[in-house]
């Protein structure tokens, strides 16, 4: 079984940065990496990007790529997502999900519990 | 275009069949994945690849694809299937989401 656990809620002021951590444990040998997704209040899912465990390759959403950085840690199965220059419309629940790729598709099969980030002055 | 378009809402009578569709150019080349999200909860993968269900997902959920359209079918919908459903393909975007109401 796989578990994905994220860090706790954050409250930040506009212009600040936030870093959210995500750790997968259990049967994770087939993990490709992590996808990050966010969901503003009452809105749909927004894809933010993903990071590969193998070589640290990243792929960011164009509208976020100048403010977001995803990194891996030496602690196995741990990744971080940093978002800079926060604005009020960055207020959302941030999810990480374990990404698995087989011969024909990639998918996000285990999701963290979500991390609420509130940006407010 | 990488956009994926879904109907905003559909309803189904208890025990009947409902189809949720997702349209987008990327679906001509890649299979869709489907995620179920209930209020206040994280999304859950229900269908991936050609038509695969993760462990624990009931077999009343199935997926199919034709051209630029992918479909999620719930055969014999249950009250607990009431949720938002999002599609996603290999591309960097989620569908707009469909709220499924079970009457």
Q: What is the pLDDT of residues B21-42, one digit of tens each?
A: 999 999 998 999 999 999 999 9
B45-91 pLDDT tens trace: 999 999 999 999 999 999 999 999 999 999 999 999 999 999 998 76
Considering only CB atoms, A107 lies closest to which of B33, B37, B93, namely B33
Least Cα separation, residue B19 to chain A (angstroms): 19
Q: How many residues does chain B have?
A: 103
A9/B contact by beta carbon, under 8 A: no
Paired sense of beta strands B44-47 and B61-66, if any: unpaired
Structure tokens at B41: 């909860």
Contacts of A112 in chain B (CB under 8 A): 42
- In order along its 121 residues, chain A shows pLDDT tens digits of 889 999 999 999 999 999 999 998 887 767 788 999 999 999 999 999 999 887 889 999 999 999 999 998 867 778 999 999 999 999 999 999 999 888 888 899 999 999 999 999 9
**Cα B34 from Cα A106, distance rounded (Å):** 12
A1/B contact by beta carbon, under 8 A: no
User: Cα dihedral angle (B64, B69, B70, B74), rounded to 10 degrees?
Assistant: -80
């Amino acid at each position: 079984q796989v578990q994905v656990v994220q860090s706790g809620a954050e409250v930040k002021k506009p212009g600040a940065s936030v870093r959210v951590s995500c750790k997968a444990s259990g049967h994770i040998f087939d993990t490709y990496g992590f996808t990050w997704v966010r969901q503003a209040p009452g809105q749909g899912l927004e894809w933010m990007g993903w990071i590969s465990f193998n070589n640290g390759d990243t792929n960011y959403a164009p509208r976020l790529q100048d403010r977001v950085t995803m990194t891996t840690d030496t602690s196995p199965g741990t990744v971080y997502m940093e978002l800079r220059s926060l604005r009020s419309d960055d207020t959302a629940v941030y999810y990480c999900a374990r990404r698995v790729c087989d011969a024909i598709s990639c998918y996000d099969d285990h999701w963290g519990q979500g991390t609420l980030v509130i940006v407010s002055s | 275009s990488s956009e994926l378009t879904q109907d905003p809402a559909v309803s189904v009578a208890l025990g009947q069949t409902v189809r949720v569709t997702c349209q987008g150019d990327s679906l001509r080349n890649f299979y869709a994945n489907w995620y179920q999200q209930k209020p206040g909860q994280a999304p859950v993968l229900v269908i991936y690849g050609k038509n695969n269900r993760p462990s624990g997902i009931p077999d009343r959920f199935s997926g199919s694809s034709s051209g630029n359209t992918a479909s999620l079918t719930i055969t014999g919908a249950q009250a607990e299937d009431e949720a938002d459903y999002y599609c996603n393909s290999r591309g960097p975007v989620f569908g707009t989401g469909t709220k499924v109401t079970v009457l």
